Every structure is written in structure tokens, then in C-alpha cells.
Homo-oligomer: A and B are copies of this chain.
């Protein structure tokens, strides 16, 4: 690309090669996993149900989303008719800028959404292929089972980082300094699909889980994963579509959006840093640096993953995974430092500029601190969860109250940690020249996001490990494996629960960091278009202005609305599952184990229920920012974004940690405290666990992609608003009319979802 040095050209192609290497590594691992033994006939039978259910779900989801994606692709392409190509695009493509930008926006969006979907789909597929083989390997010993579980997880991990890096690098190679437009489309595609996967998967998994537990464990008193429970397969499928596909798409999207924000801000910084804004000359160091960081992270993860093994004496899965993680972290930091010394030299002094490195390091530290915070609030080893267990002695009410207080408090600490990370960036760039200081600080924040997610390869491997060993354990239970094999899987399952919780903390934290960086670039974005159209330039999002404050209020309300709707969706779907399981329990011979339940029906109910809610929930984050922007203007839309980020972060952590704590408070009692299993405190704790399920696995995690979808939609539409929202503009009136129509649709959708509750309610009585 024009303006790159020879070294930079090599570096970018090297990054591309690393991305492809990651994908190849995933492919090799997949072949290795597929070679492993799939166990007994009965195991394959159970597995067949899970596989069919999981594939059916994602297939159906794809058909639901297909039309939407194609439609949005055309909308993005058509958007060039309203927003003319940027100055940079004209520099890059001259007369053909219009067509390049149109195709760029559309193809990048399509690529983002397809990559996100593929990561979810192929990753889930790998998990499903892996789980039966883990169960089979558990009959041989601990290490073989661990190896297969971890490798299956690593397939997803490598897909995530491979696709994420591939997309960003390709766009940069093709579009160069005109990349921001396409990058936004790429980010939007990835986030939107992640949102759908999170919401759909979350509703599916918790409807099946809560439904299965309410009738099976609580009403009938049969154990978890009992084959007589009609919802048991749906529950296992749910782990794959929710915890595996949903989480993978979500983290892919975080990985991608942090890169997108670093590239966009890096380009701005590369322009203004030269002090010659608009001369068409760029300092590309700030763009290429994050690409190299990402590539180093991918290589480090690959190396780190090779050391994950244990032996039959120690059986230390957690230790093995941590070893891999710390090795990768060490390699990364050394690599980042080396890049700084050899590449990030200040052109005027010739000495390395350590500030980007420090911002990235802040991200790694932030990831570790958030980890520890999450662990402190949700692990059975610390005071908070033990306190919630203790509160179960006086019944479910005190257990719930204790968890609510814990969740609220944990969100306070999480936000303070994030605030400190932003402050470090301010501190790191404190001596920067005033003209570029703000951009430099925001660039630092985006590098902090890059740092946080630099070990995504390991994180996802560890996270996917959770549902894989959970499913393996379920298959083991249902096909009556030996006690030794079950013990292996029980242990892996427990380790998986811990790794899953840790990933959630990082996912939410990185979402907010990425959102802050995106929010920061909002002003630059708006300002550019205002300069082009000759309007006065917005210099800040002034929340003491009444309309902006109104925007802030509405923004803050959105996460509450979204959480309320998702919790209700889970309840609605779960009540359908409850009815179905109850109905099947009455089938003669079923309770005696002579007749198999109709697993497929429960799977179909979960699938249909999740799909039904999907579109209306997915529309909210796309429509509301458009409405707010057109009705209240771009500055109020900025206030709206600030409100979303603030209350989204608070609510996401509150829900995730309260849910995690209730889950583990129950486990702490099951370990023999306060009367152990089947005691009254245990029953009280089960109530807390059930309340926490949709909070921690549906409503909370869905806020994560939601925050980013809204930020990206705002960034994409801001130029349109600036261009069109001028009194007397021919499009203005028709667009306002269109907006009001959208509002009507939205209100109708929410109203409809309420009527459905009422209808389901009436049905249940």
C-alpha cells in the first residue's frame, strides 16, 4: 500500500500469514480430534441426538438471519448515496471512490457477519465432535481426556483469532487509509451476528436448563442429566449453542472490535501526529503496531497451547491450562517489547516510544485484575460466596438478597478497575502535545483493549473446554460409563466451570474498553462530516445540555429494557419446556426407563422459542440509536452512547457475578457445608441458582455485544444524520416519517412480546 516502508509491507503480509497459520492450525487440530475413538454404540446414540439438535439449531438460526444480513448488506452499500466517500477514499481510489466505498462497506459487513457465524458454527461443531471423544478417552485416563477436550476448544480459539486478524488485515491492505468505513462495517457485521448468537443461544440454553431442572430436579427429584427427562438432550444442546457458539461469536466480535477501534484511531493519530492533517501523508506506525501485536498474541497462544498436558498422578487440568496461559503471556510481553524497540521508534529522536507498549501492558494487567475480581466474587474459596451460602440458612429470601448485594458490589469494583485503566492511558499520554493528546489517549485505551484480548487464543480454548467437558459428563451419565471414567469427567467439568466464569469477566471488560475507544472516535467521525458539509463542528458531548442529558437517560434505560426482555423470553420458553417434560413424564413406562422420551420435541420447542424472540430483541439495538439520532441529533446520540456504556457495564457485571455467586453458593453447600446436599439451606440455594441462570448466561452476556452493536450503529449513522438532519433537506422529512414508523414497529414488537407472555400464561393454567 502507498506510504508503507519495505519493513512495514513485509510486516503486514507476515501478519496475514500468521492469521492464515492460525486457521490452518485449527484445521490440523480438527483432523486430530476427528481421528479419536467415539466410544460405545450407546454413547454414539446420545451424541447423535446432541449433534442433530445443535446443527438443527444453528441451521435454523442461519435461515432466520439470512434475509436480514442480505438486506443490511444492500443498505450499507446504498448508504454511499447519502454519505459521499471520505477524503481519504478519494485520495486512494480517485474517480472510482464511490464504487470502492460502496463495495467495501457491503463486503466488509458480509465478511464480519460470516466470520462471526463461522467461528460460532465451526467452533460449536468442533465442541460437539470433541465431547463424545472426551467421554471415550476418559475410559483410558485423565490426560487423554484433557488433551482432546482442550484441543477441541483450541479449534474454536484459533478460528476466533485467525478470522479476526484475517479480516482486519485484509481490509487494511485493500483500503489503506480509507479503511475506517469498511472496518466499521466489518465490526458491525461481527457484533450483530454475535448479538443474535448470544441472545438466541442464551435463551435456548437457559430455557432448556431451567425447564429441565424445575421439573426434573425440583419437582420429580431425579438427578441432573437423567435420560428419562425429555429436556436433557435440549439442555446438553444448549451448552453447545449458548456457551460454545454464543461465547465464541461474542469473543470473536470483541477481538475484532478492539482491533477495528485501534486501527481507526491509529489512522487518525497517524494523520494528526505529523501535524499536517489532510496532506495525504500518514505515519502508519500506529496502525501497523496493533496488527503486529495481534499476530504476536496468536503465535504466543499457539506455543502456549502445546504445553497443556498433565499426567495420571497429578491430574491437574487447571495447572496445565494456567501453564499454557502464562507461557503465552510471557512470550507476548517479550514480543511486544521487542516490537517497540525495533519498530516504534520516534522519528525525531530515534528512540523507542514506550507509551503504546505501556498502554498494551495495562490491558494485560487489566485482564488479570478483572479475572481476580470475578474470581473473588464468584469462587467458593472467598468470603462473598461463602456469605451467600451462609445466608441460605435463613431461607431463599436471604440467599437472594445476599446475591443481589454481592452482584451490585462486584459491579462497583469492576467499573473502578476499568476507570483506573482509562486513567492510566490518560497518565501515559499526559505529556503529549495538547493538539493530539485526546486522540493519543483514546488510542491508548484501544491498545489496552488489544492487550486485554491478546491471549484470546488461550482464553477461548479454556472457555470452550467448559461446555465440552460438561457435555462429555452428560454423555457419560446417560450411557452409564464406569465410575473411574466419570470421576475424570467430573473433575474436568468442575475445572470447566471455573474457566468459563473467568472468560466472562474478560469478555465484559473488553466490551466496555472497546466501547470507550469507539465512543472516543465518535466525535472525530462526526467532526469530519461536519467539516465536509460546512457545518459547525461538534467539540464535545456536553451532558449539561438538556437534549444530551435526555439522550443519556434514554441510553441508560436500554440495558434495563434489554435485560427485562431477555429474562422474560427465557421464562416464557422455560415454561413451555416445563409443560412438555411434565406431559412426557406421564407417558406409561417412561419413569421405569422402558420407554425413551421424545427428546426431539423438547429440542424443537427450545429452537422455536429462541428463534421467535430473536428478531425483536435484535432490532432494539439497531433501531433505538437510529431513532435517538434522528430525533434528538448527533450530540444527544453521543450522550445516549455514554448512557448505554455506563449502565450496560454495571448491569452486565451485576448479573454475571450475582448469577455466578448463586451457582457456586449452591456448590459450596453441596461440598458439605451448612448441611450439604438435600438440606434446607441447599434447597434455598437451588432457588438462587435458578434465579441466577438467565441472569448470568442470557441477559448479562447479551449486553456485551449489544453495547458494541449500538456503538457501531451510531458510528455508521452519525454521518447520515449530520448530512440529512438539516431543516429543509429533501430527505429530512421522509426520514423522520420513516423513523416514526420504526418506532411504531418497535413498540408493537415489545407489546407483542407481552401479549405472548399473557397467552403462554393462559395456556399454562
Q: How far is the CA of A568 from the CA of B426 in the complex (A)?
A: 35
Which A500-550 residues sit within 8 Å CB-CB of chain B?
A: 516, 519-520, 522-523, 539-547, 549-550
Q: How far is the CA of A560 from the CA of B416 in the complex (A)?
A: 12
Q: Are A687 and B400 in contact (CB under 8 A)?
A: yes
| Residues of B close to A554: CB separation below 8 A | 415-416, 419
Q: Are B398 and A571 in contact (CB under 8 A)?
A: yes
State how many angstroms separate the Cβ of A542 from the closest Cβ of chain B.
Answer: 3
Which A375-408 residues sit within 8 Å CB-CB of chain B?
A: 383, 387, 390-391, 393-398, 400-402, 404-406, 408
Residue of B nearest to A520 (CB): B544
State how many angstroms separate the Cβ of A384 from the closest Cβ of chain B.
Answer: 9
| Residues of B close to A409: CB separation below 8 A | 560-561, 564-565
Q: Is A214 an interface residue (CB 8 A)?
A: yes
Oligomer: number of copies: 2
Q: Is A639 an interface residue (CB 8 A)?
A: yes
Q: Are B571 and A401 in contact (CB under 8 A)?
A: yes
Which A178-207 residues sit within 8 Å CB-CB of chain B?
A: none
Residue A540 contacts which of B391, B402, B415, B545 (CB distance < 8 angstroms)? B545
Q: Is A619 an interface residue (CB 8 A)?
A: no
Residue of B nearest to A397 (CB): B690
Q: Is A170 an interface residue (CB 8 A)?
A: no
Contact digits for A561-598, partner B, Cβ 8 Å, 1 yes 0 no: 10111011011001100100000000000000000000
Q: Are B687 and A557 in contact (CB under 8 A)?
A: no
Q: Are A425 and B546 in contact (CB under 8 A)?
A: yes
Which A402-443 residues sit within 8 Å CB-CB of chain B?
A: 402, 404-406, 408-409, 411-412, 415-416, 418-419, 422-423, 425-426, 438, 441-442
State how many angstroms separate the Cβ of A420 from the closest Cβ of chain B.
Answer: 9
Q: How far is the CA of A687 from the CA of B643 in the complex (A)?
A: 33
Q: Are A422 and B541 in contact (CB under 8 A)?
A: no
State how many angstroms separate the Cβ of A199 from the closest Cβ of chain B.
Answer: 15
Q: Is A646 an interface residue (CB 8 A)?
A: yes
Decide: A419 near B520, CB < 8 A? Known: A647-B556, A647-B646.
Answer: no
Residue of B nearest to A561 (CB): B412
Stretch at the interface among A458-466, A729-737, A754-762: A754-762
Q: Are B406 and A564 in contact (CB under 8 A)?
A: yes
- What DSSP secondary structure best describes chain A's contact surface? helix
Q: Is A638 an interface residue (CB 8 A)?
A: yes
Q: Is A629 an interface residue (CB 8 A)?
A: no
Contact digits for A633-677, partner B, Cβ 8 Å, 1 yes 0 no: 000001100110011011000100000000000000000000000
Decide: A408 near B552, CB < 8 A? Known: A687-B395, A687-B400.
Answer: no
Q: Are B547 and A426 in contact (CB under 8 A)?
A: yes
Q: Are A405 and B567 in contact (CB under 8 A)?
A: yes
Q: How far is the CA of A682 from the CA of B17 in the complex (A)?
A: 64
Decide: A546 near B426, CB < 8 A? Known: A383-B754, A578-B394.
Answer: yes
Tally chain A residues at the interface, Cβ within 8 Å: 91
Q: How far is the CA of A668 from the CA of B334 in the complex (A)?
A: 65
Q: Is A691 an interface residue (CB 8 A)?
A: yes
Q: Are B646 and A418 in contact (CB under 8 A)?
A: no
Q: Is A130 an interface residue (CB 8 A)?
A: no
Q: Is A218 an interface residue (CB 8 A)?
A: yes
Q: Is A161 an interface residue (CB 8 A)?
A: no
Q: Is A467 an interface residue (CB 8 A)?
A: no
Contact digits for A709-737, partner B, Cβ 8 Å, 1 yes 0 no: 00000000000000000000000000000
Q: Are A556 and B687 in contact (CB under 8 A)?
A: no
Which A693-708 residues sit within 8 Å CB-CB of chain B?
A: 694-695
Residue of B nearest to A420 (CB): B550
Residue A550 contacts which of B423, B520, B574 (CB distance < 8 angstroms)? B423
Q: Are A516 and B423 in contact (CB under 8 A)?
A: no
Q: Are B416 and A765 in contact (CB under 8 A)?
A: no
Decide: A397 near B687, CB < 8 A? Known: A408-B561, A540-B545, A556-B415.
Answer: yes
Q: Is A237 an interface residue (CB 8 A)?
A: no
Q: How far is the CA of A543 from the CA of B544 in the complex (A)?
A: 10
Q: Are B419 and A553 in contact (CB under 8 A)?
A: yes
Q: Are A546 and B758 in contact (CB under 8 A)?
A: no
| Residues of B close to A391: CB separation below 8 A | 571
Q: How far is the CA of A81 from the CA of B550 in the complex (A)?
A: 38
Most buried by B among A544, A649, A687, A690: A544
Contact digits for A737-765, partner B, Cβ 8 Å, 1 yes 0 no: 00000000000000000100110010011
9 contacts between A and B (CB under 8 A): A387-B761, A390-B764, A396-B687, A397-B690, A401-B691, A408-B561, A422-B550, A540-B543, A542-B542
| 8 further A-B pairs in the complex, CB-CB below 8 A; given A426-B550, A540-B545 | A391-B571, A395-B690, A396-B396, A401-B570, A419-B553, A422-B549, A522-B544, A543-B639
Closest 7 CB pairs of A and B: A540-B542, A397-B690, A408-B564, A409-B564, A405-B567, A556-B646, A408-B560
